[in-house]
Amino acid sequence: MNLTAHDPRVYKSHSGGILGTLEDLKDKAYQELEDARIKETEASRNYEKLKLSLTNEMKNSKKQLAESKRYIAASKEKKSTAKEDLSVTSKTLNEDMVALSDIHKDCMTKATDYEVESKSRSDELKAIATAKKILVEKTGGAETSVYGFDQVSFIQVARTTMGVDHLEAVDYVRSLSRKRHAPLLAQLANNMAAVMRENSYSEDDKFAKVKDMIRDMIVKLEAEQKKTADKIAYCNKEMAETKASEKEIKDQLDAVTTELDQMTSRSEKLTEDVAMLETALKDIQASQVEMDKLRKEEKTVYTKQRADLEQGVEGVKLALQVLKEYYEKAGESGSATGIIEMLELVESDFSKSLAEIISVEESAAATYESETKENAVEKATKAGDSKFKSKEIVRLADSISGRKSDLTGIKDQHKAVMDYLSKLKEDCVVKAPSYAEKKAKRDAEIAGLKEAQRILEEEAAFVQRKITSSQHLRGNTFSLKAED
């Protein structure tokens, strides 16, 4: 191909325009580069500021979370301690109230018994004092004149003469009835006295009948004593078994209550964790949206800057090619050195800037991808954790509902046992007198009746001796009168 060379003067005439264009192009490239650097610097600064802000916010959130967790843990510990103290205090108070009630009832019963016994004793002492005064004032020396022997007192003779109608055993039983507040013994004493006053019986029959009455009463009291002993044994057995059942149910109640408190505390903790995880997921999502926005803006700026710089490099290369071809053909390579070097410098600057923005873009893209992956991993982890804990909350809710139902059943069972225990206490302990007191009273009454039997035996023997003595005395008197 034959190329026709242009006159060098043509190029010379246009050199001023080319150089001006190149200068303008260079200035434009520098200005765009400077603008790109400013924007990149501003974008980098904004990114760093946003990153620092988000980092500080996350640190503060984590710090607040840690403080909240510590506060919640401390509050739960205080709550648990307070509950335990309240339970112990309430239990102690209930026991003290029950003990106070028992003591009050016991004191009232004993006060009533003491008042009745004191009044009875006072009346008895007054009656005895009156009788003694009458005997001293009214009988005078009649006792000695009538009976004439010192070994028998007036009262004894009155009880043991022919036609006996009063016994010391009767007085003993009557006194015992007053002392023990025993109507049965008072009735026995009256019956004994009635028998002794009966004229249709001989003295031996009277004593035999009174002995039978005392013996029958002893048998009756011993039967009641056995019944009381059986009742005491029954009460002791039922009280022991019921208290054991109450303790067992109370232990179950405490165990289920503790388990419910633990499950409730666990559910509350999981609910707080889920709320914090959801907040963290929202923060991650917001951070990712902001990163996407910044990356898009950076990408847009980079794409435009790269296109401009690539176009500038191509333009400078093309200009260099034209100038080199021209000056080579014109044989003016020496005079073209300055402009070619300048254009080569421009090309170098453009290429360098292009390489820099490509490097910055690749670094920014890599950082974006890395942080995006980290966000995705953290988001997946937190979402999984939230899902698992949410399921655990549902499971705990079902368990809590079931244990609450169990707790209601145990409370009902505990109430039933406590009601039965209360009835037992009312029947076996609270009633006045208690079975133990009844047993002691019956023991004393039986012992008293046995003592009355002994006294009656002595009286019967004494009466027999007195009758024999009186018969002998009357026989001697009759002999003396016959002799006279």
Residues 255, 241 share a domain: no
At 28, the pLDDT band (50, 70, 90 cuts) reads confident
Residues 165, 117 share a domain: no
* 260 domain residue, yes or no: yes
Residues 404, 324 share a domain: yes
CA dihedral 160, 162, 164, 165 (to 10 degrees): -140
Residues 266, 352 share a domain: yes
Give the residue numbers spanning the domain of 112. Answer: 101-140
State the DSSP string of 377-418.
Answer: HHHHHHHHHHHHHHHHHHHHHHHHHHHHHHHHHHHHHHHHHH
* 4 domain residue, yes or no: no
What rounded mean pLDDT belongs to the chain?
Answer: 75
At 477, the pLDDT band (50, 70, 90 cuts) reads very low
The domain boundary, picked from 412, 431, 450, lies at 431
Residues 210, 186 share a domain: yes
The domain boundary, picked from 87, 121, 140, lies at 140
Q: Which helix (H) or strand (E) holds 107?
A: helix 8-139
* 338 domain residue, yes or no: yes
At 431, the pLDDT band (50, 70, 90 cuts) reads low
Looking at per-residue pLDDT, the higher value among 75 and 469 belongs to 75
Residues 348, 476 share a domain: no
248/242 Cα distance (integer angstroms): 10
Residues 418, 293 share a domain: yes
At 434 the three-state DSSP class reads: coil
- CA proximity to 346, closest of 324, 314, 322: 314
* 81 domain residue, yes or no: no
Residues 78-118 have pLDDT tens digits of 677 767 767 766 766 676 576 666 656 655 665 565 555 55
Structural domain count, the chain: 3
pTM, two decimals, is 0.41
Residue-level pLDDT at 162: 36
